[in-house]
Amino acid sequence: MGRARPGGAPVRPPAAALAVDLLAVLVFAGVGRASHVEGTGLLQVAGTALPFWVGVLLAWALPRVHRDPTRVVPAGVLVVAGAVVVGVVLRLLTGQGAAPSFVVVTVVVLALLLLGWRPLASWSARRAAR
């Protein structure tokens, strides 16, 4: 499964964790589009997810994220921060807008999605190691 973290649980492969993060952003974009605008095709949802994916990928460029990606701190927090900050800034730069209520919902939902799977993955890895 991979190398072991100090607590003895193996660390998940970074590629799998990155895929989960990207999928979480896609879910966020899909639910948002379905709730607020017409057009929920994969390309439309991916277009909405794109600025947030850029933020996730920039966060993943940090060694602290890919070194131990299932940790909430620092990996998960850095990914959430990257997704939110870069995603909102890119939306503003491209004229898509980011009302304060949108930013609040974005922070809450992306935090739940991008942080929520990490403790489950760590628990599962510890359990599998036993």
Going from the C-alpha of 1 to that of each of 9, 10, 16, 18, the distances in angstroms are 10, 6, 11, 16
What would the DSSP string read from start to end of 55-115? HHHHHHTSHHHHHSTT-IIIIIHHHHHHHHHHHHHHHHHTT----HHHHHHHHHHHHHHHH
CA distance 53 to 22: 6
What per-residue confidence (pLDDT) applies to 6?
A: 55
Mean pLDDT of the chain, nearest integer? 90
What per-residue confidence (pLDDT) applies to 5?
A: 52
- Average pLDDT for residues 2-9, to the nearest whole number? 51
What per-residue confidence (pLDDT) applies to 114?
A: 98
Lowest-pLDDT range of 3-7, 33-37, 99-103: 3-7
The answer, yes or no, to whether residue 94 has pLDDT greater than 50, is yes
- Average pLDDT for residues 94-110, to the nearest whole number? 96
